[in-house]
Every structure is written in C-alpha cells, then in structure tokens.
C-alpha cells in the first residue's frame, strides 16, 4: 500500500495520528516540530519518539517535499522555482532577495479563475486549489535550497487568488506561524487579494495577525471592471468597506496595490479619484509600473509618468511607495507567473 505523505498535516492531524498509533497526543506535537521546525523528515532519526511510534510511522507514512523541475535566476538575483505537482500541474514560487532578507512569493492555486486582464496566470484559467502541503511545500523547498534563514517575508501573491482557497490558506498560515512549526511571525506574512469581500471580513475575524494587500488598480468602478472581472461581483464601495473593517478590526494598515498602465489609469484625474476614495482608510499605496505580458494589450508607463503619479498622490494621500519590478527577465515579476512550460492557451482580450 502506498504510504501517506504527511506534508501539510496540521498539528491537530499529527496529534490524532500519534493517538491512532497508540501513543500520547503530545508525541504528535513532537512530530510536528521535527517536520516543520527542525526539518528532519526521517522518522527513524526522531530521537524523542518511541521506537514503536517511529516504526509505525515508517510503515504507513512518509514526508516528502515538492518536485522542483526548474530553477531560474534573474539578472537582479531574483529566483523562480517551478514545481510539478502529483497531477502534473505546474506552479511557481519566487524568491526576491532584499537588503535585509528575502521575500517569498507563494502560489495558492494552479492557474486562477479570476482572469484579470493584465495577468499571465489569469490567462491560464483555473486548474485547482493548492493543498496545504503544496503551499507549505513551496516554503520548505526554499528553506532546503537557500538555507534555514532564507525566509524573511512571505507574500501570498503568486499564482491564484488566496482568499478563494480560504480554508487551506488559514491552515497553511497556522503551520507557518506556529512556534513549533516554521515559527515565522504573522506580521511577516501578507495575503494579497483581488478583492474577495466576504473573505476579507473572514480574515479580519480570524484572529490571524497577517497583513492584507488589495489589488485596486483603479478607483473608478468602470475602469476597474475592465481590468478585473471580479469587480463586477464586488463593488468598490463594498471593497472599501471591507478594507475599513479589516483595518479597524486588526488595527493594521492596509496596502492598496496599484499597477500603473500607460494612458489607462495614470492620469491626474485617476490620482485625485484614488486619493478621494481612500480618505480615512489607514493605508499605504504601493505603485508598480505594469510588467508587460506577451499577447496582452496594456503597456508600461515611463518612469517619469510613474514619478509624476506618485508625486501627485504623495501630496494628497498617506504613504505612497513605488515598488520596483524584480525578476522581469525570467518572467517572475508580479502578474507574469504562468509556468512557461505549461503550453496553455492564451485567452484574448475582449
């Protein structure tokens, strides 16, 4: 009989397994620590587990990471890892080195159902939700390749909409933040959403102290709908209400991500509308010049236009930062993840 892979098992599940194998639940906690915190995947070497438990674990279980099939390094040292999952789906993880530590951009779904018009992943269509093991596995692979301290910040900003894979996302975050798990504080984790309003409320109520980033891209309803079909479902008013709720409940600043598209959302009028709409929300705005995706219609504004837009906003809004694209030469930048080896069909713009 094939062994069961424990990758992604939660603390409660491992406690249950220890109990089912005739041991005390706290042995499951020790197993959890060996797997996620110490990084020992060989049950035989888990010296504080009884010989009986180690043998039983070996009979039925295994702990196996994800299968990396490609690793690409950008001119700016950004790394992209391509994984092949058990059902042959491909997903990507990006490691962005920064002055003090790395930011790891994690995928939450294979493909994405939301079809944002500027995003390569969105053109793939939806494959499926990633399991907890497939999200945790991305981080464990980063640790294995780059070392134990390789994970600084974690952003759920890779392929997929994390809030549409909500339950698995929450369990993944619980394993990441657990003291006996990866032991990475929630304040270093950012969940980035296209604006799934009910789950923004749920995340605010979850008690997890993670950060929230919302892809806004326009403060005009009609323009946002052109860029992001999800805006047809959740209006800007509802989205801003959810953002206010999150900021109030979690006592945290929201980040609004705003990708600048040349001649589309980068004018004085756009900046004024944005400043007006976010008034009163504790937030910062992250501006990013669009990273062109082959086959899609939008183009990148000049650096001068980006500075102009940032300058106007700075005078009217709270905190504005301009994010530099990283890893563009290996298609690892925001909106470019599409698993180049997938050979998917591109959907054309309407």
State the catalytic residues: 92, 334
In sequence order, the β-bridge partners of residue 212 are 191
Residue 119 or 175 with smaller CB distance to ligand SF4: 119
Instruction: Provide, rounded to whole angstroms, the least separation between the CB of residue 112 and ligand SF4.
Output: 3
Return the number of the residue (122 or 133) whose C-beta is nearest ligand SF4: 122
Q: How far is CA 238 from CA 195, 275, 282, in A?
A: 9, 17, 16
| Minimum distance of ligand SF4 from residue 170's CB (angstroms) | 18
Nearer to ligand SF4, 31 or 196 (CB): 196
Which among 65, 105, 101 has a CA at the least distance from the CA of 330? 105
Of all residues in this chain, which one has the CB nearest to ligand SF4 in the complex? 122
Kindly tell me which of 28 and 335 has the beta carbon lying closer to ligand SF4.
335
3-class state of residue 90 by DSSP: strand
| Smallest distance, ligand SF4 to C-beta of residue 335, A | 6
Residue 25: CB minimum distance to ligand SF4, A? 39
CB 24 within 8 A of CB 18: yes
CA distance 325 to 331: 10
How far is Cα 228 from Cα 226, in angstroms, rounded to an integer? Answer: 6
How far apart are the C-alpha atoms of 320 and 327, rounded to whole Å? 22
Round to whole Å and give the CA distance between 289 and 301: 6
CA dihedral 104, 110, 116, 118 (to 10 degrees): 60
Q: Minimum distance from CB of 159 to ligand SF4 (Å)?
A: 6
Nearer to ligand SF4, 139 or 230 (CB): 230
> Rounded to an integer, what distance in angstroms lies between the CA atom of residue 46 and that of residue 37?
13
What pairing do the DSSP bridges indicate for beta strands 102-105 and 109-111? Answer: unpaired
- Residues in contact with ligand SF4 by the rule CB under 6 A: 112, 114-116, 119, 121-122, 159-161, 194, 335
Please state, in angstroms and rounded to a whole number, the distance separating the CA atoms of residues 342 and 124: 9
How far apart are alpha carbons 346 and 291 in whole angstroms? 17
Q: How far is the CB of 140 from ligand SF4 (least distance, A)?
A: 23
Secondary structure of residue 216 in the 3-state scheme: coil
Residue nearer to ligand SF4 on the CB measure, 301 or 335:
335
């Amino acid at each position: 009989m094939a062994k069961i892979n424990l990758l992604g098992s939660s603390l409660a599940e491992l406690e249950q397994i220890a109990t089912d194998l005739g041991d005390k639940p706290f042995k499951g906690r020790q197993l959890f620590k060996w797997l996620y915190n110490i990084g020992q995947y060989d049950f035989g070497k888990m010296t504080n587990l009884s010989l009986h438990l180690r043998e039983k674990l070996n009979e039925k279980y295994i702990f196996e990471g994800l299968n990396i099939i490609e690793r690409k390094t950008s001119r700016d040292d950004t790394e992209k890892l391509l994984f092949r999952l058990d059902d042959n789906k491909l997903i990507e993880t990006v490691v962005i080195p920064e002055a003090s530590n790395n930011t790891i951009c994690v995928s939450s779904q294979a493909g994405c159902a939301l079809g944002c018009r500027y995003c390569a992943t969105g053109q793939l269509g939806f494959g499926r939700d990633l399991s907890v093991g497939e999200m945790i596995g991305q981080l464990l692979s980063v640790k294995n390749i780059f070392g134990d301290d390789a994970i600084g910040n974690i952003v759920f900003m890779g392929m997929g909409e994390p809030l549409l894979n909500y339950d698995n996302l929450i369990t993944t975050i619980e394993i990441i933040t657990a003291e006996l798990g990866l032991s990475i504080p929630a304040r270093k984790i950012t969940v980035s959403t296209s604006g799934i309003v009910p789950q923004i409320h749920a995340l605010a109520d979850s008690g997890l102290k993670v950060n929230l980033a919302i892809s806004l891209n326009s403060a005009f309803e009609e323009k946002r709908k052109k860029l992001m079909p999800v805006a047809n479902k959740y209006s800007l008013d509802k989205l801003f209400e959810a953002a206010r709720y999150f900021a109030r409940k979690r006592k945290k600043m929201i980040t609004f991500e705003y990708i600048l598209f040349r001649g589309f959302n980068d004018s004085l009028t756009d900046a004024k509308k944005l400043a007006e709409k976010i008034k009163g929300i504790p937030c910062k705005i992250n501006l990013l010049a669009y990273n062109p995706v082959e086959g899609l219609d939008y183009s990148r504004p000049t650096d001068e236009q980006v500075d102009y837009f940032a300058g106007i906003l700075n005078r009217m809004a709270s905190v504005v930062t301009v994010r530099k694209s990283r890893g563009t030469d290996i298609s690892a930048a925001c909106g470019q993840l599409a698993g180049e080896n997938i050979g998917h069909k591109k959907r054309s713009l309407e």
